[in-house]
Structure 1
């Protein structure tokens, strides 16, 4: 009994010791669980923050595993490629992007899955947007790839316009000297023909000299076209009310069409006004319509012109006819200078000039045949005109009445209201009118120049928008002084420059 009693006491002491150790372990475990919960909450918050940041990023970020399935997306795919689903986790690469786009990108995805990064630009066949996509191997999971895609449509449009400008400059340098020498030769030939016609000639010779003179004059017209095609040209987009533009195109085109050819113009876009170079676009469309007329010939036919919005990115203009269509040679060479299928009746510069105008605007041009004839498709950047605010009240200052009238008409055509001042003194008196938004002044105004005038007005009306216009060279001290403070428009002022000036202020 004494032995059992001693053993019981010993065991009781051990139980108490083990109980204290267990309680201490439980306290440590509870603290660890609390820390894990805090870490989990922090990770959840960090994940939510990261997801928010990625979803706000103006690009699509995705992760594709070795089986070709998306395991992550920032839910921006539809913003980049309209018509696609945003919820693509667990979806295959082909199903998420569409078979056509995925087939184009699959070789680059496979290359990245083998550990080699890839980068490419492609045009989405659905929306026409230009997309730049980077494929980066996931080093932690062999065969998996991170995909970053961004919309570079506007960058590509600007790059296309810049490349076309460089091409024009090179063409101008190459052709200017040749054109000058060729023009001199034509002048000599005309002079010799004139002297030859004054001499006694045998029967039939006058017809030959007349034909030679006509050929020389045609060569002169060709030189003019080359000069227009290679000379300096700047696209000046202005707000164009599309309903008015289409209404003006129809009668101009109808006048050149025979009664047996019908013309229909259709439009399918929601924007009332677009930023376009209306003059260049009108010239290009008339050129295409006349080409369609020539393709139809004397047979009854139809020309269709359609305008549509392509996914908010492009204004697509299609000109279709029921003529003979493009030959294989024309489909390959029609956009090259001097290629023509019209013989002596054509210069081979019509489609080239249209192509040049489209490229300068950052667009694309394509030729194809349909079951009934030919089709030409132009795609121009779709840029809706800024929402029209209230008309601007502009004080126009110039001491020459004819120039004031010309600039006033341009401003009123743009929808603005104009107050005129013929001198600096009148402008000083009118500058305090309530509601005045702009002052546009000539630099040379007699005793007081426009720079001093605007400097004086700016001192007491700092909220006014100020600008100058002048015919002075850019190196003139007054021109330099004015340009350091305000915008300076060169004379003669045109509507595009005025619109750019006023819309820049609206945007700011």
Structure 2
């Protein structure tokens, strides 16, 4: 009502916001427009625009409907708002026309009462004018009340000052934060009510109202500001201040808006602590954690990696990017699988993949990668990938080493089985060969030089010798060859063999021997060194089609625990290395894996397949290690590591005796093979010896007990039923201290506690033997 009924009158509350005038209260003709209707300041025909531009007083223009109006414009003291009271121009003029007509009619009809009528009319006009002014004031107060309600409903604190920085207005939130009521604060300087300090330095912060009054623009508080409330509370706040202008554009006050940041700070601190906790956990665990951002093209771009990754791989995230991203670190052979893994995860599916990565130093590390996509919930698009990579390098190496060990075990078991078979065959075959060789020799002694039978017997003898060589190689492979170890100087033995090796390989092959200085002594049978070198030399000769070279080297080598960890079949310790290298055809991996198997040969019908098997057996029998390094077209190197002898004995030169084949001593022969026993008895008796023959140890003991004369020599097989040769000698030696012993054997199944090794220095005769070999061995033992 205005103060009489009006169809168009209304009061507007407006505020300037940037380049617009904002209507703050519901409008009579557009109730929903409060706080949403804006008109640009360029529309100067609108009373609301003129009001926020600073004009006050009466104004005629167009309202927000485009209708001509008469308005009164006023600023609201102590605030950035303006009050516009307006009514449609048509309604005002219509009232004036009706009133003018009534006056003219009254003048004509009531001329006599003109004075009285005019006075009454003037009074009525004054009354209506006062009513209109009263209504305008009433609506202004209602607008202010509505403004107050709006301020009270705002969630942030609002505080307004005058141009001198004194508090004029506060909403309830400001009262709660400062601890001052509006009534208590009004008229007080802002610094007294709104005390702020720097959270870090505790220094008094700059007065925002003073700054707004000075600069005449909106300002904000610095970060880390604390409000010191009247009751002693310290409240972190965020603040901004805006100037209030009068009609002339002068700053006549300031409005401060601030809010409590306590909850935000707590939430931020909790977030930071959570991130730090997760970061520390990620850095402490051995796995490598990471976060990738998924680009719009579906590629993975690194955002974060854990310190554990940097420690092991030696690369920061920036350095990884500089190398071209994570793909550059993946082993070339695994990049295709890694790319499929990445595409799968970027497509929204969790996945696991094992792959090899390269460190900054080029070391290969095995990783088992677990990756999970993170989706943008509204769109369902993969925006990030979270993952962890477990370093499985150690387990992969252990797995590979296990496979190597299993392969070595299978190879050893296979060779052991074949060796047992070969040893068993050689044992029986040797005894038969011994009989053939001796009878052939006896027959040759009865045949004249021109007899046609002599050539046949010589061929039988040659075949028997070749067969004997074959059985010796079988026994060497089976590690059951009888050996006579002694302390030796490997360089001296190899020097003596150099001429023989050159003759064996031929003139086209250049042979070089490079002895190591200060070589450690070995303890093994020198004959076995001959066997090793002879087989390697023949193997090298056959591998070279024409001219070539062979280099034989020796050196002292210490295999440490690290070498043992990588090659568990090689015990750590001191070794004498013998390396035999040739420039032959070389071997591929398939051939190299089979060369030590008996009867395996690449020479067709020419080879027996026992040469390298013999070398392998001898090396293993002496506790050594053998390695082969070879590639097709690049020759081969055999490296043999033999254990260093750490005793006090020193190598002694071999004795060479020249003794006659005949004698007159008494010899006790113990041999469980009847044919060999009779042959030995026949040979010795025919050369002047008195022979006591026994086919069992028990019979030998009985014959010795019954024989009253001296017994000078015991010729005994090493292995016999019920008692071995060494035990027999010990039984006899107790009663006959002058008795000497000569052991003979073609095969020792497993000499108990000695693995087929007789006492150091004991005389030994290898089966099969010749007549001269038997007689010479007997004379050397008796000498």
Question: Shorter-chain-normalised TM-score: which range?
Answer: 0.3 to 0.5
TM-score, structure 2 as length reference: 0.33
Higher RCO (Cα < 8 Å, 6 or more apart):
1
With the length of structure 1 as denominator, give the TM-score of the two structures. 0.47
Is the radius of gyration larger for structure 1 or structure 2?
2
Query: Higher helix share goes to which structure?
Result: 1
